[in-house]
Chain A
Amino acid sequence: MRKVFKIYRPFTHAGVLIAAQYRANFFFFILGDILRCFINYFLWHAVFTSGGEKTFAGFSETDMVVYIFISFLTSVIAYSDGSYAVGEEIRDGNIAMRMIKPIRFDLAFLFQELGERLITVTLIFAPMMLGVEIYKFVVTGVIGFNIVNFILYLFSLILAYLITFYFNVCYGYSAFILKNLWGANFLKDCIVGFLSGGVIPLAFLPPVVAVTLNLLPFASQTYIPVMMYVGMFDVPTIIYSFALQIFWLIFFIILQQIIWNACVKRMSVQGG
């Protein structure tokens, strides 16, 4: 394990440098994206005022607001550039250079991205968490911060990131065949965003659909960690959800390895 860290640390360092270069850029983009959370906040506020009921599908207004902001935070942190970066390397042929080096392709990417993530996380994690907790305090009058939920959330978030990363690497490999361009990635982000509960909590969907979507890997990417934070899972569901996340992580790691082995055999580099 220590050897792995030693080998791949330079990639993390490179990632930090890249992210530091673009941090102002990142900041503005995030500001633009956070606006969407506020739209949802006002929309749900109007929904709760118009509906006259205290809860929807088990969510109170406070729960809903926490869900909106924490699911945004989760999707930003658990976001992975993998599919784009891998596809790009395949298209321009740089992947050939990776193959001749005695390092693992997926780990090199992972450690570089972790470096880039480091800055993202430090820039938005604490302010947003604090904002949500202050909101909860202002609305309910009691400090609602639950350390157990927070720790469960952190663990689930790490798993969510790793699942997202390996899922995206697998998707990126499709560029070996499809030569992915912008459109394919846009379509994927759109579908995953919905299936992972980023648009609306899965609990709002018809029961059959909700149960099915819960099983799919996408729920493990956003929905499960957020629900842990909101504290709407009971103990059996928490254990079950972690098991599900671990299952999907292992599934995608193995799938990634299989595709990689298969692709290396039949690959042709464009202009390589």
Chain B
Amino acid sequence: MKMLRKIHRMFKLHRIFIKQDLKKLMEYKIDFLTGAIGMLLTQAINIFFLSVIFARIPNLEGYSFEQIIFIYGFALLPKSIDHLFFDNLWAIGHFIIRKGDFDKYLTRPVSTLFAVTVEKFQVDAFGELVVGIMLLGYSVPKIAVSINFVNVILFVVAIFFATFIYTGVKLITSAIAFWTKRSGNITYMFYMINDFAKYPTTIYNRVVRTVITYIVPFAFTAFFPASYFITGGNVWYNIGGTVVMAVVLMAVGIFVWNKGVSAYESAGS
């Protein structure tokens, strides 16, 4: 009961913060619009790039154009959802700790991690989210994905946990800043690995495949879960792997974060 009330309170707070961010957004409408168009265009160009490639080859390592688009679109969903809700973690590594601004979260009557993430609702992410949904809408009817109750549930589960793979990577790397004052560039380096997940891992060599499967497991945010929906096989590895990786990364992330908060010394005076 107490737990429920706590969760209810968190959601209520979250709503209030989102409302604040939407107000800010209305202030900078044009900036948001140009940014969102930019995001849309970036993805459109990438899709165009793929279509130019596919005009010259029948398939890519056995994957058809529609299947590649499905994996690509799938990859955008967890990425954009993480971007939408947990974007403020970037700011931790870039400047919040360095400038000593982290102090204010320590005074809040909620956990620091919650206070940090809830502060920013990154609406730019809608650009990618919309593209992801559009690409799935285009590709799903053209490939043999069976749409049934179990698959819909598995889809939601996969997207949910895949989102936390992104968040986990950002959490661990940005928490390093508690000791080093600054880790935004480290977060960036690890985060960029997610781009590998947009294509079938079979195109990479063994080193890359091992890294994106077991070390920075972005392959579980897109290729593995998506290939379950394409082939219908190996649900335990493809979807289960996503769940396990997300839980492990988040557990490590929260552990490192809490260690970091206790090691945190405010910067400046």
**Chain A: residues with CB nearer than 8 A to chain B?**
24-25, 27-29, 31-33, 35-36, 38-39, 42-43, 45-47, 49-51, 53, 56, 181-184, 186-187, 189-191, 193-194, 199-200, 204-205
Closest to A205 in B: B52
How far is B42's CA from A190's CA once the two chains are assembled, in angstroms?
A: 6
From known contacts A24-B185, A181-B31, A187-B38, infer whether A47 and B53 are also in contact, taking CB-CB under 8 Å: yes
**Within 8 Å CB of B234, what residues of A?**
none
Q: Tell me, in angstroms, the Cα distance from A187 to B199 when the chains sit together.
A: 25
* Residue of B56, B185, B188, B205 with most chain A CB atoms under a 10 A cut-off: B185
Binds A, one of B16-24, B128-136, B157-165, B190-198: B190-198
Interface residues of B in 39-75 (CB under 8 A from A): 39, 41-42, 45-46, 49, 52-53, 56-61
Contacts of A191 in B (CB 8 A): 41
CB < 8 Å A-B pair total: 95
Residue of A whose beta carbon sits closest to that of B185: A28
Across the interface, name the chain B residue whose C-beta is closest to A32.
Answer: B192
Q: How large is the interface on B (under 10, 10 to 19, 20 to 34, 35 or more residues)?
A: 35 or more
Q: Provide the B169-206 mask, 1 if CB < 8 A to any CB of A, else 0.
A: 00000000000000001101101110110110001110
Give the chain B neighbours of A25 by CB distance below 8 A: 185
B114 within 8 A of A: no
CB distance from A24 to the nearest CB of B (A): 7
B5-38 CB mask vs A (1 if < 8 Å, else 0) is 0000000000000000000000010111111111
Judge whether B188 and A32 touch: CB under 8 Å: yes
Closest to B58 in A: A50
A50 touches B61 (CB 8 A): yes
B152 within 8 A of A: no
Which of B191, B198, B208 interacts with A32 by CB under 8 Å? Answer: B191
List the A side residues contacting B28 at CB < 8 Å.
181
The answer to whether residues A51 and B31 also contact, given A29-B188, A39-B199 and a CB cut-off of 8 A, is no
Tell me whether A200 and B41 are in contact in the complex, defined as CB-CB below 8 angstroms, given that A24-B185, A184-B31 are known contacts: no
Residue from A28, A29, A46 within 8 A of B203 (CB atoms):
A46
Do A199 and B45 contact each other (CB < 8 Å), given the known contacts A42-B208, A187-B34?
yes
Min Cβ gap A10→B in Å is 28
Name B residues whose Cβ lies closer than 8 Å to a Cβ of A: 28, 30-39, 41-42, 45-46, 49, 52-53, 56-61, 185-186, 188-189, 191-193, 195-196, 198-199, 203-205, 208
Most buried by A among B36, B59, B199, B203: B203
Sample of 23 A–B contacts (CB below 8 Å): A24-B185, A25-B185, A29-B185, A32-B185, A35-B193, A35-B196, A36-B195, A39-B199, A42-B204, A42-B208, A43-B203, A47-B60, A49-B61, A56-B56, A183-B30, A183-B35, A183-B36, A184-B34, A187-B34, A187-B35, A189-B38, A194-B45, A204-B52
Question: Which residue of chain B is the closest to A195 with respect to CB atoms?
Answer: B45
- Find the B residue at minimum CB distance from A194: B45
**Contact at A186–B185, with CB atoms within 8 Å?**
no
Q: How far is the CB of B219 from chain A (nearest CB, A)?
A: 13
Q: In the bound complex, how far is the Cα of B203 from the Cα of A21, in angstroms?
A: 39
**Complex contacts, B195 vs chain A, CB 8 Å:** 35-36, 39
- A27 CA to B57 CA, complexed, in Å: 37
Give Cα A200 to B42, complex, Å: 13
**Given known contacts A42-B203, A183-B38, what 15 new A-B pairs fall within 8 Å (CB)?**
A28-B189, A29-B188, A35-B192, A35-B193, A36-B192, A49-B61, A51-B57, A182-B35, A183-B30, A183-B33, A183-B35, A186-B38, A187-B35, A187-B41, A191-B41
CB distance from B43 to the nearest CB of A (A): 10
The CA-CA distance from A32 to B185 in the complex, in Å, is 9
Which residues of the other chain, A, contact B36 by a CB distance below 8 angstroms? Answer: 183
The answer to whether B199 touches A43, judged by C-beta atoms less than 8 angstroms apart, is yes
A161 to B28, CA, bound (A): 32
Q: Complex Cα distance A189/B45, Å?
A: 13
- State the CA gap A35–B204 with chains docked (Å): 12
Closest chain B residue to A184 by CB distance? B34
Please tell me if the beta carbons of A199 and B192 are within 8 angstroms of each other in the complex: no
Whether the pair A182, B49 counts as a contact (CB closer than 8 A) is no
Query: A238 to chain B: closest CB distance in Å?
Result: 26
- Cβ-defined partner of A183 (8 Å) among B32, B189, B205: B32
**Lowest 5 A-B CB distances belong to which pairs?**
A28-B185, A183-B34, A183-B35, A32-B192, A187-B38
Provide the residues of chain B in CB contact with A190, threshold 8 Å. Answer: 38, 41-42, 45
Most buried by B among A25, A183, A190: A183
Contact A39 B196 (CB under 8 A): yes
User: What is the minimal beta-carbon distance from A120 to any residue of chain B, in angstroms?
Assistant: 15
User: How far is A31 from B187 in the complex, measured between Cα atoms in Å?
Assistant: 12
Cα(A46)–Cα(B62), bound, Å: 10
Alpha-carbon gap, A108 to B171, bound state (A): 41
